[in-house]
Structure 1
Amino acid sequence: MTLIRPDLDTLPAYVPGRTVPGAIKLASNEVAEPPHPVVLEAIARAAAGGNRYPDLGVVELTDRLAEVHDLAPERIAVGCGSVTLCQQLVQISCLGPGDEVLFAWRSFEAYPIVTRIGGAEVRTVGLDDGFRHDLDAMAAAITDRTRLVFVCSPNNPTGPAVRREEFVQFLRTVPADVLVALDEAYAEYVTDPDAVHGRSLLDEHPNLVVLRTFSKAYRLAGLRVGYALASAGIAAALRKVAPPFGVNSLAQAGAIAALEHREEILAGCADVVAERDRVAAALRDLGFTVPDNQANFVWLPLGDRAAEFATHCSERKVIVRGFQPDGVRVTVSTPQENDLLLDVASSFPDQAG
């Protein structure tokens, strides 16, 4: 007899981007610029009340999000980062062994982890030749055991966004009793006019859940705040399985302040997009294949050479995120740090592979 679930020994581990003293970190899709000064002031004020529990219902932040997205507050669930909400989606949709969670691969590495933690089975469908979701193949892979489908747009780590037309067609083919989670962690960086925006589809598709985060464009990765837009019933279920006081007081205060100053904060996304396009073009000039990207990173599909490239960069004090044997994800940072990355990449032997 064992005290611990035996399947935990086979659970895939989430691999965080490494931090190396003296090196630039381009491994975790963080924004180089710190939180907005007004946000920092709000966090400091909230810290003075650190002896009190946070608002359990996250009421004020929920109300602010409702205004931003023109949605009733009861249709919003706030969580400790969108990753936690992914795990909560597995909890509310899957009863255990036999139930399946479907997603593309390679995609966000937390999906198989939260699926296995929830006791469900992982079912994956490969990306197409453009490193994009193959939604037709995903629709064909749905069975009577499928309870939840994750669609990451833009896809982490490869970068392309799902197009609205193809996603609408996909939703029409998914059974009404299967949840579809559109993970839009990088939505603020999307410039493709044909890309899907989940909020506009919520009313027509009650099985759709849209996930968003404050970790990327709002520059609050360390505070861990994410949220789901959904039907009132799904949002209520997500709140039922949420860890009590999971969104701390500092996180709530920082997120509220960020929303109050969102136009100024999100204006910085244009600089990231410009650098993203510059870095992608420069890498292509060096001979690398770089897929279309709509996030704050670029993807190098180096295959078996992924680990070699990551090591090459690390030895030169540039930390990137290798996904052996598929490719390498490189965060877009400041122009200076991006130039260092390009210099290091230019010395990688036979970079075209």
Structure 2
Amino acid sequence: MEIVTAPEPTGARVRLRPEIAALPPYRQGRPAPADGFKLSSNENPFGPLPSVVEVVASAAHDINRYPDATALALRERLAERFGVTADEVLIGAGSVALLAQFILAAAAPGDEVVYSWRSFEAYPGLVTVAGATSVMVPNRADHGHDLDAMAAAITDRTRVVIVCSPNNPTGVVVTAAEFEAFMAKVPADRLVLLDEAYAEFVRGDGSADDAVDGATLIGRYPNLVMLRTFSKAYGLAGLRVGYAIGPVELLDAARATAIPLGVTAAAASAAIASLEPAAEAELLERVGAIADRRDRVHATLVAQGWPVPVARSNFVWLPAGEATTAVAERLFDAGIVTRAFAPDGIRISIGEEESVDILLTILGELVPGSQEGHPQ
């Protein structure tokens, strides 16, 4: 028998797309110490409801079977809620997976995707993977979207525009009036994605009344898709389930780009269980508690002298500038893990009540311009 040997290594490297090889993979923040608090991932600090745990456990008996590829039962439940057909609802493995699907469906090499910056950190990578080019429009001084500048940035090459409200990581909302004026400027053949992953947390000082609400816009614009998730307000981050609502033609295009069977039966069942009236009431009560905690943190930071913007999400934005890394390290040393975006600022999720005093005590010592406000 002839023995075939492998060829000698030549030193040649596998040919990859250079823009992908240069793209840093998504990395989660550092884990929290055993006695610390993870305030880096915008997770819901409350544990899952017993009714949700029960349906997830029940789904485990059938993990030898593939899930329903379209998550029809969940689509029908959401369709009833939003007054649309099931075909106008698309389920994905979190809203970020849906963002990827829509970008792939609309943007190719040579095309552009316009979005505000700083905004959701996944946007640049999703655009690069599609082979398209990011057009980042700087936020306003108040850390919100500059929609006039975004509209002006739309060119013949633009295929997708993303609006994030409340904006991640700054927490600032786009108002309904701002969004309506913006849509009047966007050509009708350009896809607009309204990313509302934190919509349920928009409550508080009256600005909630002015915030854009994708649910009120369904059917008004043939180029608009609304995206939401069960990860945050509904506490299902570990199961990965989100949804999009929009015209069937646009959703069908996104369906064509999806990895098949991406949403598990456990995830779909948990989402349906979370929409049951008693369960949802309890979940939204928790959202209210998080929002109250957020407002208390925000008010204290403002009183301390931090220039934090109004937050309408489940996190606050600390514009620490060049001190971003040093402030984040001081917090980490105190057992608080945050998400640092040097040299811009720090996103701090609203977590357990026990974390609040520690967080505010440390940040009170680091206020810009104070004697102790320049950590080394």
Q: What is the percentage of aligned positions where both structures have the same residue? A: 46
Q: 1:7-18, aligned counterparts within 5 Å?
A: 7-18=19-30
SS in 1 for 2:275: helix
**Offset of residue 50 of structure 1:** 1.0
**Offset of residue 288 of structure 1:** 1.1
Work out whether residues 81 and 215 of structure 1, in 8 Å CA contact, stay in contact via their aligned partners in 2.
yes
CA offsets 1:286-335 (integer angstroms, 9 cap, x no match): 22111011000000111111111101111111101110010001011122
**Offset of residue 271 of structure 1:** 0.6
Residue 344, structure 1, aligned to residue 362, structure 2: yes
**Equivalent in the alignment of 1:32:** 45
Q: Among residues 153, 158, 170, which one is paired with 1:158 in the alignment?
A: 170
**Offset of residue 241 of structure 1:** 1.4
Residue 327, structure 1, aligned to residue 345, structure 2: yes
**Equivalent in the alignment of 1:200:** 216
Work out whether residues 312 and 348 of structure 1, in 8 Å CA contact, stay in contact via their aligned partners in 2.
no
Work out whether residues 210 and 229 of structure 1, in 8 Å CA contact, stay in contact via their aligned partners in 2.
yes
Residue 238, structure 1, aligned to residue 244, structure 2: no
What code does the residue aligned with 2:229 have?
Answer: T
What code does the residue aligned with 1:332 have?
Answer: I
**Equivalent in the alignment of 2:316:** 298
Residue 220, structure 1, aligned to residue 236, structure 2: yes
SS in 2 for 1:268: helix
Q: How far apart in 1 are the matches of 2:78 and 2:342?
A: 38
What code does the residue aligned with 2:340 have?
Answer: G
What code does the residue aligned with 2:235 have?
Answer: R
TM-score, with normalisation over the residues of structure 1?
A: 0.97
Residue 168, structure 1, aligned to residue 184, structure 2: no
Residue ranges of structure 2 left out of the alignment (5+ in a row) = 1-12
Q: How far apart in 2 are the matches of 1:20 and 1:153?
A: 28
What code does the residue aligned with 2:47 have?
Answer: P
Work out whether residues 163 and 195 of structure 2, in 8 Å CA contact, stay in contact via their aligned partners in 1.
yes
**Equivalent in the alignment of 2:91:** 78
**Equivalent in the alignment of 2:245:** 229
Q: 1:10-159, aligned counterparts within 5 Å?
A: 10-22=22-34, 23-94=36-107, 96-159=108-171
**Offset of residue 175 of structure 1:** 0.6
- Deviant stretches of 4+, over 6 Å: none
**Equivalent in the alignment of 1:181:** 193
**Equivalent in the alignment of 1:258:** 274
Q: How far apart in 1 are the matches of 2:333 and 2:297?
A: 21
Q: How far apart in 2 are the matches of 1:215 and 1:343?
A: 29
Task: State how many pairs are aligned.
Answer: 352
**Offset of residue 199 of structure 1:** 2.0
SS in 2 for 1:221: coil
Work out whether residues 165 and 199 of structure 2, in 8 Å CA contact, stay in contact via their aligned partners in 1.
yes
Q: Among residues 278, 284, 296, which one is paired with 1:278 in the alignment?
A: 296
- Greater Cα offset, 24-33 or 280-289: 280-289
Work out whether residues 298 and 331 of structure 1, in 8 Å CA contact, stay in contact via their aligned partners in 2.
yes
CA offsets 1:18-40 (integer angstroms, 9 cap, x no match): 21332211011111101111001
CA offsets 1:202-238 (integer angstroms, 9 cap, x no match): 3121100100000000000000001101101111112
- Greater Cα offset, 231-240 or 75-84: 231-240
Residues 342/216 of structure 1: CA separation in 2 closer, same or farther (3 Å cut): same
Q: How far apart in 2 are the matches of 1:351 and 1:132?
A: 24
Q: How far apart in 1 are the matches of 2:226 and 2:187?
A: 17
RMSD: 1.3
**Offset of residue 349 of structure 1:** 6.2
Residue ranges of structure 1 left out of the alignment (5+ in a row) = none
**Offset of residue 2 of structure 1:** 4.2
SS in 1 for 2:238: helix
Work out whether residues 99 and 147 of structure 1, in 8 Å CA contact, stay in contact via their aligned partners in 2.
yes
Residues 70/351 of structure 1: CA separation in 2 closer, same or farther (3 Å cut): farther
Q: How far apart in 1 are the matches of 2:201 and 2:351?
A: 13
Larger radius of gyration: 2
